[in-house]
Structure 1
Amino acid sequence: PYATQIDRPFRHDPSLYAFGEDTGAVMPKAILSEYEPLKRQPPLFAEGGLIYELSVKSFTRLHPQVPEELRGTVAALAHPAILAHLKKIGVDAVELMPITAWIDERHLPPLGLSNAWGYNPVGFMALDPRLCPGGVRELRDTVAALHAQGIGVILDLVFNHTGESDIDGSILSLRGLDNLTAFRHPPGEPGVLINDTGTGNTVACDHPYVRQLIIDSLKHFVLNAGIDGFRFDLAPVLGRTADGFDMASATLEAMHSDPVLHDRVLIAEPW
């Protein structure tokens, strides 16, 4: 869960659903990385500014002015043609749809389909190699190029569920390490997953260990990539407790009070 870079994307394999199978050969491996933290700056975005939500892959995939090897990647957003376009239409900040590592929903591969938008995460920090092959450094350099043009960067992050799906889903990360801690379960029913998200599982964002993972993920992107803010997918799950949603939950409070995060742009998707 704390990997910041992986060596390949997540992909489905029959062994991921079989009890007792060794899945080491089909699982991505974490790349141990060190970063020199950036000097923390105030977020580059003024209230009321224009936010341009974009899918990193599709935004530049067919752009004739972007070199072919860069098309569809985070690095392509720093190309002069892209920067000029964003400036021309008056963009104050770009909101990048999920770029952290995800896996296709399991019903898609048999249909010859794939998840293009990334809202099915496995890693909360690791960037998907298909979109950001250069890892955090690629993201950091692109953020710097956008900042130089007066454009802020907001990341769309998914903390409400993981791509491990329902009880018949694959074992990829949090489920294999500590299923009972990481996900919400009905009282006295450890073999049942609460499905508040409609995706098969719901991350227990109020658990202290999970809360720390979320806060550490946000701080990682601010300190190591210079990110100005975050948009949270199905945001109420971040404040969900055993008694329902709590707008004063410890996890939401931690975001507001953390010295690194307290001034970031925070956008909540209602659900």
Structure 2
Amino acid sequence: MKKIIVIGSSNVDMVMKTSHLPAPGETILGGEFLMNQGGKGANQAVAVRRMGGNLIFMAKLGNDILGRQSLEYFENEGIDTRYLTLTENAASGVALISVDSQAENSIIVASGANMLLNEQDVDRITEEMEEGDILLMQLEIPLQTVVYAAKKAFEKGVKMVLNPAPACNLPQELFPYLYMITPNAIEAEMLAGMKLGTDAEEVGKKLYEMGVKNVIITLGAKGCLIIEEGISYHVDAFKVKPIDTTAAGDTFNGALCVGLAEGMDLKQAAVIASKASSIAVTRMGAQPSIPYRKEINTNI
């Protein structure tokens, strides 16, 4: 199977369940508290690993108690830790997450060591890249690092999949390097500069016209819209009762890349990814919610 290289963030999530998300200046009493592994890069790496992908993961952690615990956790997950670096120059990333009774969340991230992941780090991992491999990235590390890695991947014939989260404006030079971009509705609106409205197709085609070969806009309970080399179609979501939507998108992206690495067509891979994310939202936490491959019925 082709390698899936994930370059991105690793955080420790501190999660509080609440009846509702607090308004500015409001103090509320929460319920259950959880502390577990998170960060979009790490979430996606764990999803790839649990789905059976051939994973290489690069991230930067603080040389502190949280970073050392994270390193031990990744080793226990069976993740190759050669490209996970402990640094003295910043603390490990931390995310404060509130989850309300409707499974909606509010997240604040202190990026810490994640923002030290740079071009020199990427150079260390480019020797692992071979034509046909997949590079999966997000936006919780410096944008210039993302652009640099995308260019290197493009030059080597590696398929770059960008999950553009958290939402931000992206340089035009980045889009032609991308094999696929996978925004949610909010991120798609920001990138396209237009409202999604009742039809996501117009926004998806705008992103396609920016130079990306394939676009997937994830729409939560409404499934996802796919623009595959100019042709659009829809994949339905699986009906579940959500408890916590944290890491649902990361689970989708990791499972999607595993499907593609196994030779599935894009629609098949999106169905598997939708199934994996539907399981994730029925569980609390980021990485604790990510399913294993044995939980996915591949005959769906």
Instruction: Give TM-score scaled by structure 2 length.
Output: 0.27
Higher relative contact order (CA 8 A, sep 6+): 1
Q: Which has the higher strand share?
A: 2
Greater per-residue helix proportion: 2
